[in-house]
Copies of this chain bind each other. A is one copy, B any other.
Amino acid sequence: MNRSIVLARYPDGEIVEGDFALREGARPQVVEGTFVTRNRYFSMDAGFRQWMNADSGDNYLPGMPLDEAVQSIVLGEVIESRHPDFPEGAIVSARTAWEEYSLLDGSDLCSILEVDPRVPLHEYMSTLGPTGMTAWFGLQDIGRPQQGDVLLVSAAGGAVGTVVGQLGRIAGCHCIGLTSSEAKARWLRDEVGYHIAISRERYPDLPAALAEFAPQGIDIMFDNVGGTVLDAALGNLREGARIVLCGAIAQYEAEQPQPVYNTWELITKRANAQGFMFSDYAAQFPAAISELGRYLQQGSLKSFNQVYDGLEAAPRAFCDMMHGRSRGKCLVRLAAD
């Protein structure tokens, strides 16, 4: 048997658990050039939400087909192989689907993980996985943090945001996080280590809040939200600012694209806005994993993970992650044998 979670219908705006359904099928059969993984963790990533729409925008990935297992970054163990590069026992990360067993051929961001037995396995789907890579390369390569820089992070309590804030602090930045609720803002300050956390609940007028908390302007905006949040940041840049365009969660469930009015500010502030995907940096993953692993061991970096147990929990986990009900990295753990 191979149980999976499929997209049962296209969401109408905010995605709900009922948009998904559990299916049972046959375990995949290995053929020459392929291998089968038993999956251990699913990574919940807002970026996949866009492709759950009937019209995904047609310009990055096509929309996910209905009644097929939901696409996702997955960690699994190779249990059967007829592929020379992926032997049995290897732990791999791949873009595959919410299913117990996957048939893979080594494409689609598939790579073998060099697992350190002292490190909990789920970290390779979190701080040492796509989330950590996104935070690391976005901040280091595009943000280029300098001592004393004001770093603004949107969706600061999310998977990437919790890592970026800590890395910014290590780099000597003044870290300001944006989040939905006061409870999360407190957590960002007390546990994650943001210097300042601004909640939508307490500060509905974001431009005014930024003028108050970043009066000298923003040097680095690490944006996971887009729309009005990006716009407010663009309205308060310091000269030479860097905008790390990582995600646009405000957009994935919106009926219309969100307008941004302050692109002109990029000119007057000689600012840079760069879009990226973590996978652009695949060749440099080992160095980043080693660096992030060292911070984790030293304790200068904490990993915030919210783990949901069991395949059946994936729809709830995904909806919680999308709608601000989870903190840090949201993961689904499949039952170990």
Contacts and interface: CB of A to CB of B under 8 A. Distances in A.
Interface string A257-282: 11111111111111111111100100
Give the dominant DSSP class at A's interface: loop
A248 B272 contact: no
B259 A261 contact: yes
Contact of A261 (B246, B257, B262, B264): B257
B230 A268 contact: no
A245 interface: yes
Contacts of A271: 274-275
A256 B262 CA distance: 11
Copies in the complex: 2
Contacts of A298: none
Contacts of A260: 259-261, 263
A261 B258 contact: yes
A56 to B, nearest CB: 10
A168 B264 CA distance: 24
Interface in A212-258: 226, 230, 245-248, 251, 256-258
A59 interface: yes
A288 to B, nearest CB: 18
Contact of A266 (B264, B265, B269, B273): B273
A245 B267 contact: yes
B265 A263 contact: no
A257 B262 CA distance: 7
Interface of A: 57, 59-60, 226, 230, 245-248, 251, 256-277, 280
A256 B248 CA distance: 24
10 contacts: A57-B268, A59-B269, A226-B263, A245-B266, A245-B267, A248-B267, A267-B275, A268-B275, A271-B275, A272-B274
B280 A267 contact: no
A276 B270 contact: yes
Given A59-B268, A268-B59, A268-B60, A230 B263 contact: yes
Given A263-B263, A265-B275, A270-B275, 11 more contacts: A57-B264, A248-B264, A256-B261, A257-B261, A258-B261, A263-B273, A266-B274, A266-B275, A270-B277, A272-B272, A272-B273
Q: Which of A251, A267, A273, A277 has the most CB of B within 10 A?
A: A267
B280 A264 contact: no
Nearest to A266: B275
A248 B266 CA distance: 11
A245 B257 contact: no
Q: Which of A247, A268, A269 has the most CB of B within 10 A?
A: A268
B267 A246 contact: yes
A264 B272 CA distance: 15
A259 B271 CA distance: 18
A275 B280 contact: no
Contacts of A280: 270
Contacts of A276: 267, 270
A197 to B, nearest CB: 24
Contacts of A273: 263, 266, 272-274
